Amino acid sequence: MVVVGTGALACLFGARLQRFAGARVTLTGVWTEALAAIAAQGVRVEDDSGAWSARLEVASRTSSLGQADRILVLVKGYQTAEVAPVVARTLAPEGRVLTLQNGLGHREAFEAAVGTGRVSAGVVTLGATLLGPGHVRATPGEVVLGNGAATHSEGPLFQELLTDAGFDVRVEPDLEATVWRKLAVNCALNPSSALAGCTNGGLLQSPELRGTVVAAAREVGAVAAARGLDLGADPAELALAVAETTAANRSSMLQDVARGTPTEIDCLNGAVVDIAHRLGIPVPVNENLVRRIRALPRRATA
């Protein structure tokens, strides 16, 4: 099994799949410092059970990975176009891909590379913070898998593997609504916390920041409704609840901005803005967040 990525979630999933599910995992990426650290001492994990580690194979994306029956993609959204060819050349003829990335457009991108009916998608609500190369801290949450065409036929294997690896896994018939609920939360919290330089909980301490969270989430909800999706709850309330339950967390976008690396703004708020424009729906708060995040300085590469 190949796990594409070297970030916090990729390290966590790879380590649990190797240690608890008995999968033979190869972690592949471009972050040479992480690959070297994992090769030397394995992935180190801190979670509710304590501290532990798991040894797994590593390879750069330019390496020959052979053929893999199962590929789990956990890279940042802006890397999807880069890794799609890697997935295409690595996937075995009868293999399947599962993407658990944030944002929109990833499943479609991988289907374009490997063919329709071979790519499943899911949503992750658990937390993972990178403490250093190959070193991650995990917080509780769940993995939600859809039961569409690809996931219905091949999902049970992913579901079984992830369950055996210690993840709380749920199959959701209406995955798209689940994706948009998480999208509303991410679009509200991630850029707001990144721009303010505060934890999720810090967004609740300022009336202005709280107002931005509420407005951004509701704009996403309006776009979802225009697409015929019932999110089943006020997206603003969802975002505020997540901010409260994850008050101490530093969002992934805040961490990216602090490192000066690219962010996922284009597949989060940017994707919502693009859809809203096509539908003629005003989303001024999300447009402002996109402009401000894109204007931040960053290094040339991640």
Rounded-to-integer distance, Cα 9 and Cα 128, Å: 6
Whole-number pLDDT of residue 302: 36
153: in domain:
yes
Do 223 and 129 belong together in one domain? no
Give the 3-state secondary structure of residue 165.
coil
The one catalytic residue among 182, 186, 221, 236? 182
Same domain, 272 and 143: no
CB atoms near residue 219 (< 10 Å): 27
- Domain shared by 179 and 132, yes or no: no
Cα 94 to Cα 14: distance, rounded to the nearest angstrom? 22
pLDDT of residue 284: 98
Amino acid at 70: R
Instruction: State residue 19's pLDDT score.
Output: 96
* Distance between CA atoms of residues 186 and 269, nearest Å: 8
Is 264 domain-assigned?
Answer: yes
Do 154 and 134 have their domain in common?
A: yes
96 and 153 in a single domain? The answer is yes
Those residues with Cβ within 8 angstroms of residue 259's Cβ, 6 or more apart along the chain or in another chain: none
pTM for this prediction: 0.92
Task: List, for residues 141-155, the tens digit of each pLDDT value.
Answer: 999 998 753 344 444
3-class DSSP assignment, residue 197 = coil
Predicted local confidence at residue 161, as pLDDT = 93
Residues 286 and 220 in one domain: yes
Consecutive 10-residue averages of pLDDT for the chain (302 residues): 95 97 95 96 96 96 88 96 95 95 96 94 91 94 75 63 95 92 98 97 97 98 97 97 93 93 96 98 98 85 38
Reported as a single tens digit per residue, the pLDDT across 102-113 is: 999 999 999 999
Which of 172, 195, 230 represents a domain boundary (last residue)? 172
In a domain, 301, yes or no: no
Instruction: Mention every residue, 6+ apart, whose C-beta is less than 8 A from residue 100.
Output: 9, 13, 72, 73, 74, 121, 122, 123, 124, 143
Whole-angstrom Cα distance, residue 274 to residue 243?
26
Claim to verify: residue 127 and residue 221 sit in the same structural domain: no
* Cα atoms in the 13 Å half-sphere on the side-chain side of 254: 22
We report the CATH number of the domain holding residue 182 as 1.10.1040.10
Separation between Cα atoms, residue 188 and residue 219, nearest integer Å: 9
Q: How confident is the model at residue 299, as a pLDDT? A: 63
Same domain, yes or no: 197 and 165: no
Q: Within a domain: residue 302? A: no
What's the confidence (pLDDT) of residue 154? 45
Q: Is residue 299 part of a domain?
A: no
For residues 26 and 134, membership in a common domain is answered with yes
Pair (7, 135) in one structural domain: yes
Q: Is residue 135 part of a domain?
A: yes
Is there a catalytic annotation at residue 182?
Answer: yes
Number of domains in the chain: 2
| Cβ contact 142:125 at 8 Å | yes
Note whether 138 and 222 are same-domain residues: no
DSSP 199-252: -TGGGGS-HHHHHHHHHHHHHHHHHHHHTT---SS-HHHHHHHHHHHTTTPPPH
> Does 280 map to a domain?
yes
User: Any idea what the CATH number is for the domain that residue 29 is in?
Assistant: 3.40.50.720
On whether both 219 and 179 belong to a single domain, the answer is yes
For 230, the domain range is 175-294
The domain boundary, picked from 172, 192, 218, lies at 172
Instruction: Show which of 151, 172, 193 is a domain's final residue.
Output: 172
Residue 241 domain-assigned?
yes
Residue that the structure tokens 């402009």 belong to = 291
